[in-house]
């Protein structure tokens, strides 16, 4: 069984998270620049904006497909590498993956990770 771990993190923590995942043997990931907000609605992260306007804050989304049995451990690895202890450190969630294909070789599922 495969799962996709999605992590929304602070951009400055990306290298730290990437290095931590590489050290765990992860061999591929997708990284996207995104914007979002959490329960502070982006406010206290940059100390500006009005009471009612939501401020989107730049974040990085990391997507990595893993064996389901590895995902709980990798979530803690990601969180430990992403954590600054301040608000806005992000979220990590998992999604079941139906199938995975390595295009070049035709390998499927766990063989395609
Ligand atoms: N419920 C959610 N669904 C989707 N994305 C979310 C959700 N909550 C947060 N995010 C994304 O994660 C980013 C970081 O969220 P953040 O760490 O501020 O969450 P929080 O719940 O406010 O926690 P904290 O109080 O530690 O700041 C947001 O900018 C947004 O991109
Ligand atoms: Mg927040």
Enumerate the domain spans of the chain.
2-112
Query: What does the mean pLDDT of the chain come to?
Result: 94
Q: From ligand 2's centre to the CA of 78, what distance in Å?
A: 17
Task: Quickly state the pLDDT bin for 45 (edges 50, 70, 90).
Answer: low
What is the mean pLDDT of the segment spanning 2-9? 98
Task: Quickly state the pLDDT bin for 55 (edges 50, 70, 90).
Answer: confident
Q: Is the C-beta atom of 90 inside 6 A of ligand 1?
A: yes
Q: Is the C-beta atom of 36 inside 6 A of ligand 1?
A: yes
Q: Please choose, from the candidates 33, 31, 107, the residue with its C-alpha nearest in 3D space to the C-alpha of residue 62.
A: 31
pTM of the model: 0.94
What is the mean pLDDT of the segment spanning 88-97? 98
| CB neighbour burial string for 85-101, b if at least 16 within 10 angstroms, e if fewer | eeebebebeeeeeeeee
The CA distances from residue 30 to 18, 38, 74, in Å, are 10, 22, 15
Query: Which atom in ligand 1 lies closest to the alpha carbon of residue 35?
Result: 31
CATH class, 2-112 region = alpha beta
Task: Quickly state the pLDDT bin for 47 (edges 50, 70, 90).
Answer: low
pLDDT for the residue numbered 43: 80
pLDDT for the residue numbered 48: 61
Does residue 85 surpass a pLDDT of 70? yes
Q: From ligand 2's centre to the CA of 42, what distance in Å?
A: 7
Does residue 50 surpass a pLDDT of 70? no
Q: What is the DSSP letter of 79?
A: H
């Amino acid at each position: 069984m495969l799962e996709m771990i999605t992590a929304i993190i602070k951009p400055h923590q990306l290298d730290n998270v990437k290095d931590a995942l590489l050290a765990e043997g992860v061999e591929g990931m997708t990284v996207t620049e995104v914007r979002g907000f959490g329960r502070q609605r982006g406010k206290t992260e940059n100390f500006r904006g009005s009471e009612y306007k939501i401020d989107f804050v730049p974040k990085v989304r990391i997507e990595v497909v893993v064996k389901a049995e590895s995902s709980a451990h990798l979530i803690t690895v990601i969180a430990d590498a992403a954590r600054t202890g301040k608000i806005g450190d992000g979220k990590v969630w998992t999604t079941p993956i139906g199938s995975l294909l390595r295009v070049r070789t035709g390998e499927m599922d766990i063989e395609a990770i």
